[in-house]
Structure 1
Amino acid sequence: MTAAAAPTGTLQTALDHARRLLATDPAMAAQQADEIIRVVGRHPMALLVLAASHRVRGQMPHALDVLEPLVREHPQWPLAHLEHGLTLGRAGRGGDAVPALRRALALKPDLPQAWRELGDHLSAMGDGDGAAQAYLEHTRHATRDPGLMQAAAALADNRIPEAEALLRAHLKRLPTDVAAIRMLAEVAARVGRGEDAESLLARCVELAPDFLPAWQNYALVLHRANRPEDALRQIDHLLAHEPDNPAHLNLKAVVLCRIGDYEPALALYERVLASYPQQAKIWMSYGHALKTAGHTARAIDAYRRALSLQPGFGEVWWSLANLKTFRFSDDDMAVMRAQRARTDLPDEDRLHLDFALGKALEDAGDYAASFAHYRDGNALRSAQLGYRADDTRARVQRLRGAHTAAFFAQRVGLGCDAPDPIFIVGMPRAGSTLLEQILSSHSAVEGTMELPDITSITRELREQARARGADTYHDLLATLDGDALRALGERYLETTRIHRKSGRPFFIDKMPNNFAHTGLIHLMLPNAKIIDARRHPLACCFSGFKQHFARGQGFSYGLEDIGRYYHDYVALMAHYDDVLPGRVHRVIYEQLVDDTEAEVRRLLAYCGLPFEDGCLRFFENARPVRTASSEQVRQPIYREGVDHWRHYEPWLEPLKVALGPVLGAYPAVPDFMAGSSIPD
């Protein structure tokens, strides 16, 4: 049977009445459906109404008792599969709901409710791309306006210019059409116009406060724009209307993790997992949150659960390796090798397995085999990214030419004078997490994480620069007056406030890549402290090469690229030492290891802080740590890691060549680096 048999006469009237009652009096709808079934037997539509009435009243077992035989008896009836999917989702069986919804859509693709429900489940399960496509299909099928249907189809097919033209023409005629505004916001988000997307969605929810899909888009856009407080407000609005919606719960957990509220995030992940216990991606996200919050054993259990569901899930194997203190068993190694040998394994899983096997073999002392896996994983990742070392060198050259001593002298006294931030910059894997752990063990300093706020500011400055025809944001920076620079500093303090939980007067931002924005930081926050964490070039660069970073750090996937990047970083910081003498405090990792107390005293003196013994017992600090060193900084300092790179020295010649004179001069810098150009 492809659909319920069409009743006639009095029966049709009774069914129509029962369907209408679902919205206003579901208990009466159930009575009406029961009466129809009593008179005419197991009429499919009456059974469907009865099941829906149970679902609406929260009686999921009763609803499933009706639906499961119904979908078996009528396997080609899309509405029965839709109701089955809706009920399974409400019953906390999200993983089972997805195939039911897919069956409904395979039979009848123009079911907007099914598309939105599917999008919510996919979002909760960590399938962002699948969720986005489902939401687009919801938009396509939710409208009956021919023009909007055409625009939605173009958007779903990623024909962005066509979609934008159709939507702008439509909104010129109907400027308050919220469906069209929402689609135009999606266009803006797709092409990177984040501010346009935000303003369009703000207008959308203002016009239609009950239009929940727009609120959902708004929350996601705000999250991606690094506006967690605003995103949480939108998510809480959604949860007030749909308290058990898994997509909203998952997104709130993600945002809470971003701002360091791990315990409530863990509770949310546990709620989501109750509905999706067979979803490896959710177990992995839960494991990440547990690891960062310091629950290492529970994190390992979560990762193990993910692998039991999906043995080829490379990112989970790498997550175990990335604990640094974890050791793989022989059985683990056998499974990883078997999965790595699969011909159908996606490159994303393959490269993660290479990094995990590299770490496992390194721990086993098989350095040649370990390097081979690190090399292969890096090659796969490098091919995905297309990093260009020449572009980095050109940017550093421009900075050295623009940020002269005279440039800074002309701007003395400008910016926001707050002393609160302590920036830790430098290369990844240079000891910045250790420095943060030491400083955050002081009673006056709060550790946060690698904050994205400077990156957000520079992104907006670049957009403004392009709008004015400037080449870089540094060209725009030269035109800003004292009020503008002060506003940038105040904005940074405001957007980072959500990460400050303890009320301590100082806080740490340890985004390493902020070294490239030293000039901006100095101009907008002249009293902030800037600490450069530096480690031996071969130790630092090879540690970066064997690290698969969650995001960014595109330079780290080739020995030559990472060597050139380190070279350029040293050159830029040498320039700032020359034009802003004493502004940046440098900590040499090996000196910190050799004489920890003396280096800690120097560090605290630079920050204007009295010495506290707790800074030497940093490993007792139970604060959340998000970086790859999270488990290492919960242990006392040890020397073993200082020269570990020597095990791989036979394969590091390309790195040595790329580092050039920087390698021989360490921990000093070559004399030429105070100039305006960077010789190779």
Structure 2
Amino acid sequence: MATDGVGTLEQALANGRGLLAHDPRGALEQAHAILTVDGRNYDALRLRAAALRRLGDSDGAERTERHALENFGQSRTLGAAAAALARGDLRAAEHMLRPHLAANPDEPGALIMLAELVNMLGGYAEAEALFRRALAIMPNFAEPRLGIATVLFRQGRPDASVVELQAILAADPGHEGATRQLANTLGHLARYDEALAVYERFLAAAEGSEAARVGYGHMLKTVGRTEEAIAAYRHVLSQRPEHGEVWWSLANLKTVRFDADDIRQMESGLGAPGQSPGDRAQLHFALGKALEDAGDHHAAFDHYASGNALVRAGMPYDAAAFGDDVSRTIAALPAGLFTARGHESEAPIFILGMPRAGSTLIEQILASHSQVEGTAELPYIPEIARELIVEMRQPFPELLAGLPDARLRELGQRYLDRARFHRSSDRPRFIDKMPNNWFDIGLILLALPYARIIDARRHPLDCGFSNFRQYFAQGQAFSYDLADMGNYYRDYVRLMAHIDAILPGRVHRVIHEELLADPEGETRRLLAALDLPFEENCLRFHENSRAVRTASSEQVRRPINRDGAGRWRAYEAWLGPLKDALGPALESYPDAPER
């Protein structure tokens, strides 16, 4: 059969599809003829898979579907949709994929691509259904099951996510993606011993796996096995000395001092061929820390600035638009909105505010109390806010004003159900220390009116510069530019001042410098605000062996110290944009500006 022309090729495909229903073997022969000429032809591979399925060869059909997925770019529709996704145009991709799937309802590539897109948009239930349809067609293919596991976790069903990931590893113990996702999920559930065991089994059989060993190092750090974490990181560097994430992981321990040889290796790594912007940025941040420790503040700031610029280039942030969102939020939260209409639970304690403001220290103090359990930075308040936007198709936070009492109680219960997976004790209170929850404080106050809220506040220059020298694993787009940082801090102070004005005393504020100066007095005031009796263990927080996932993990394993206080002063010459953006928020600290 000649297939030397678009028309001829399309006719051959049409003939094969016409044969499929009544003569699958003829359709298979037609697909084979096309693939003899063009072995990567996506449509012919899909035709071959459909014919094999009709002939009862499900294994052969699945192998062919996998081959088709490897060549989805040959599909006009899927290739165009993938290009739209790559440039961030989710709606354009959706408008291509939905009609394509309506005409081809059993196409795994289209199902998986649309599921991933819907997942990005927060439509978790639909994404799960799409992944499950793809899995039914390709039951031995790990990708849709990985997608199901991701969606289950985002729906607050991590235990179910674990089951799906374990199923992948039962069939393929060497699947690195499932290994890392399972270990991370177990870590989020505070099942750290199991998570470490998952990594250890995998690494015993796959010594050369770089990403898994880095993940293993992160998990060791979380549980306080610092020397073993350092050994895991150094093992990776012995194989790839330009690995930016590992150098930053060592720097982020805050306790590692780099020597001259380390600095030379990092500087050489900056010129490594093919290095990603993320790896290069993390090398800059690690070098900044190394040179700061060596007392070369000018060179350190240059590296911090270079690292921030690299991240900022790939993570756009609109400070003016965010400021407008804060203004809208203030307008949408009048005093009369807040009555005790939500869930009656008194269990949650929210610690919120700016990142790098001392929230981990407050958490560690409280988690040393016999009635309080520390969990993590839980993602569920912003997640529920996003779900409300999808469910109600209304702007947030304006939609909060129209929520009936029953819906508010349901939202409070939704949060508690998801948070429950992070709890491992019967202590009556638990901590959620997601700092960015300040932006969604209206949702907290309405859905969980009896929850306690602690605002962790630190000097704006110390806090701002601490963020500027920190590479975050995800998010915090405001932190990679000094002016953006100042605007973000000012907006945070502005919203919290509004809450203070309409609900005086509702939020307990901890000023970081006052806690460092008078740990016992501030701890007593903190516990009193939470209606908790004073316990001496809270002053010995550094003896608490609980896992800590944040960048301050090693710092809170030592007694209170002032090592980071006033660090900005050595860099004051370069902090003009931060000072200018902060304006009155700097001048009036620790009080909020009058306007």
Query: TM-score band (shorter)?
Result: 0.7 to 0.9
- CA 1:604–1:240 in 2, change beyond 3 Å: closer, same or farther? same
Task: Work out the CA distance in 1 between the residues paired with 2:114 and 2:563.
Answer: 56
Which of 102, 109, 116 aligns to 1:168? It is 102
Q: Is 2:326 the partner of 1:396? A: yes
Task: Work out the CA distance in 2 between the residues paired with 1:157 and 1:555.
Answer: 27
The residue identity in structure 2 corresponding to 1:652 is L
Task: Work out the CA distance in 2 between the residues paired with 1:506 and 1:569.
Answer: 26
Task: Please say if residues 329 and 398 of structure 2, whose CA atoms lie closer than 8 Å, have aligned partners that are also in contact.
Answer: no
Deviation of 1:422 (Å): 0.4
Question: Structure 2 unaligned runs (5+)?
Answer: 1-37, 43-61, 86-92
Which of 352, 360, 363 aligns to 1:436? It is 363
Task: Work out the CA distance in 2 between the residues paired with 1:626 and 1:238.
Answer: 26
Task: Work out the CA distance in 2 between the residues paired with 1:653 and 1:156.
Answer: 42
Per-residue displacement from partner, 1:442-481 (whole Å, max 9, x unpaired)?
A: 011010110111121011112234x3xx3x2212211110
The residue identity in structure 2 corresponding to 1:550 is A
- CA 1:526–1:592 in 2, change beyond 3 Å: closer, same or farther? same
Task: Work out the CA distance in 2 between the residues paired with 1:603 and 1:303.
Answer: 38
Q: Is 2:219 the partner of 1:289? A: yes
Deviation of 1:669 (Å): 1.5
Deviation of 1:206 (Å): 7.1
- CA 1:156–1:394 in 2, change beyond 3 Å: closer, same or farther? closer
Per-residue displacement from partner, 1:351-400 (whole Å, max 9, x unpaired)?
A: 11110011011111111111111111111111111111101110110111
Residue of structure 1 equivalent to 2:303 = 373
Deviation of 1:602 (Å): 0.5
Deviation of 1:236 (Å): 3.0
3-state SS of paired residue (1:321): helix
3-state SS of paired residue (2:230): helix
- The worse-fitting range, judged by mean Cα deviation, of 428-437 and 256-265 is 256-265
Task: Work out the CA distance in 2 between the residues paired with 1:362 and 1:415.
Answer: 49
Residue of structure 1 equivalent to 2:192 = 262
Alignment of 1:526-541 (within 5 A): 526-541=449-464
Residue of structure 2 equivalent to 1:453 = 380
Task: Please say if residues 154 and 163 of structure 1, whose CA atoms lie closer than 8 Å, have aligned partners that are also in contact.
Answer: no
Per-residue displacement from partner, 1:541-598 (whole Å, max 9, x unpaired)?
A: 1101111111111101111110111111111101000011111000000110111001
Task: Please say if residues 141 and 149 of structure 1, whose CA atoms lie closer than 8 Å, have aligned partners that are also in contact.
Answer: no
Residue of structure 2 equivalent to 1:501 = 424
3-state SS of paired residue (2:431): strand
Per-residue displacement from partner, 1:471-506 (whole Å, max 9, x unpaired)?
A: x22122111100000000001000110100011111
Per-residue displacement from partner, 1:288-345 (whole Å, max 9, x unpaired)?
A: 1110111100000111111111111111111110001111011101111111244653
Alignment of 1:14-413 (within 5 A): 139=65, 141=67, 160=93, 161-171=95-105, 181-182=111-112, 184-186=114-116, 188-189=118-119, 193-202=123-132, 214-225=144-155, 227-242=157-172, 245-342=175-272, 344-408=274-338, 412-413=339-340
Deviation of 1:203 (Å): 5.2
Task: Work out the CA distance in 1 between the residues paired with 2:244 and 2:434.
Answer: 26
Residue of structure 2 equivalent to 1:15 = none
Q: Is 2:348 the partner of 1:421? A: yes
- CA 1:340–1:141 in 2, change beyond 3 Å: closer, same or farther? closer
Which of 390, 398, 403 aligns to 1:463? It is 390
Task: Please say if residues 226 and 456 of structure 1, whose CA atoms lie closer than 8 Å, have aligned partners that are also in contact.
Answer: no
Per the normalisation by structure 2, the TM-score is: 0.83
3-state SS of paired residue (2:344): coil
Deviation of 1:435 (Å): 0.2
Residue of structure 2 equivalent to 1:663 = 586
Task: Please say if residues 118 and 124 of structure 2, whose CA atoms lie closer than 8 Å, have aligned partners that are also in contact.
Answer: yes
Task: Please say if residues 445 and 508 of structure 1, whose CA atoms lie closer than 8 Å, have aligned partners that are also in contact.
Answer: yes
The residue identity in structure 2 corresponding to 1:440 is A
- CA 1:186–1:546 in 2, change beyond 3 Å: closer, same or farther? closer
- CA 1:486–1:191 in 2, change beyond 3 Å: closer, same or farther? closer
- CA 1:225–1:369 in 2, change beyond 3 Å: closer, same or farther? farther
3-state SS of paired residue (1:551): coil
The residue identity in structure 2 corresponding to 1:665 is S
The residue identity in structure 2 corresponding to 1:311 is P
- CA 1:346–1:108 in 2, change beyond 3 Å: closer, same or farther? same
Q: Is 2:443 the partner of 1:481? A: no
The residue identity in structure 2 corresponding to 1:309 is Q
Task: Work out the CA distance in 2 between the residues paired with 1:548 and 1:512.
Answer: 16
Task: Work out the CA distance in 2 between the residues paired with 1:563 and 1:303.
Answer: 34
Task: Please say if residues 163 and 187 of structure 1, whose CA atoms lie closer than 8 Å, have aligned partners that are also in contact.
Answer: no
3-state SS of paired residue (2:402): coil
Q: Is 2:441 the partner of 1:514? A: no
Point out which structure has higher relative CO (alpha carbons under 8 A, 6+ apart).
2
The residue identity in structure 2 corresponding to 1:141 is H
Task: Work out the CA distance in 1 between the residues paired with 2:552 and 2:320.
Answer: 30
The residue identity in structure 2 corresponding to 1:524 is A
Deviation of 1:258 (Å): 2.2
Task: Work out the CA distance in 1 between the residues paired with 2:164 and 2:178.
Answer: 10
Task: Please say if residues 287 and 300 of structure 1, whose CA atoms lie closer than 8 Å, have aligned partners that are also in contact.
Answer: yes
Task: Work out the CA distance in 2 between the residues paired with 1:315 and 1:138.
Answer: 37
The residue identity in structure 2 corresponding to 1:388 is D
Q: Is 2:578 the partner of 1:652? A: no
Residue of structure 1 equivalent to 2:57 = none
3-state SS of paired residue (1:415): coil
Task: Please say if residues 490 and 582 of structure 2, whose CA atoms lie closer than 8 Å, have aligned partners that are also in contact.
Answer: yes
Task: Please say if residues 430 and 533 of structure 1, whose CA atoms lie closer than 8 Å, have aligned partners that are also in contact.
Answer: yes
Per-residue displacement from partner, 1:645-665 (whole Å, max 9, x unpaired)?
A: 111111111111111011111
Per the normalisation by structure 1, the TM-score is: 0.73
Q: How many residues are treated as equivalent by the alignment?
A: 529
Task: Work out the CA distance in 1 between the residues paired with 2:137 and 2:318.
Answer: 45
Task: Please say if residues 222 and 228 of structure 1, whose CA atoms lie closer than 8 Å, have aligned partners that are also in contact.
Answer: yes
The residue identity in structure 2 corresponding to 1:195 is A
The residue identity in structure 1 corresponding to 2:118 is A
- CA 1:213–1:647 in 2, change beyond 3 Å: closer, same or farther? closer
The residue identity in structure 2 corresponding to 1:299 is A
Task: Please say if residues 420 and 528 of structure 1, whose CA atoms lie closer than 8 Å, have aligned partners that are also in contact.
Answer: yes
Which of 508, 519, 532 aligns to 1:609? It is 532
Task: Work out the CA distance in 2 between the residues paired with 1:211 and 1:381.
Answer: 34
- The worse-fitting range, judged by mean Cα deviation, of 186-195 and 497-506 is 186-195
Give % identity: 50
- CA 1:657–1:230 in 2, change beyond 3 Å: closer, same or farther? same
Deviation of 1:533 (Å): 0.3
- CA 1:137–1:287 in 2, change beyond 3 Å: closer, same or farther? farther
The residue identity in structure 1 corresponding to 2:398 is D
Residue of structure 2 equivalent to 1:81 = none
Residue of structure 2 equivalent to 1:38 = none
- CA 1:418–1:342 in 2, change beyond 3 Å: closer, same or farther? same
- CA 1:607–1:331 in 2, change beyond 3 Å: closer, same or farther? same
- Structure 1 vs Structure 2 CA RMSD: 2.7
3-state SS of paired residue (1:422): strand
The residue identity in structure 2 corresponding to 1:563 is G
- CA 1:240–1:369 in 2, change beyond 3 Å: closer, same or farther? closer
Task: Please say if residues 140 and 152 of structure 1, whose CA atoms lie closer than 8 Å, have aligned partners that are also in contact.
Answer: no
Residue of structure 2 equivalent to 1:75 = none
- CA 1:177–1:341 in 2, change beyond 3 Å: closer, same or farther? closer
- CA 1:339–1:241 in 2, change beyond 3 Å: closer, same or farther? closer
Question: Structure 1 unaligned runs (5+)?
Answer: 1-106, 112-135, 673-680
Task: Work out the CA distance in 1 between the residues paired with 2:193 and 2:39.
Answer: 42
Task: Please say if residues 180 and 215 of structure 2, whose CA atoms lie closer than 8 Å, have aligned partners that are also in contact.
Answer: no
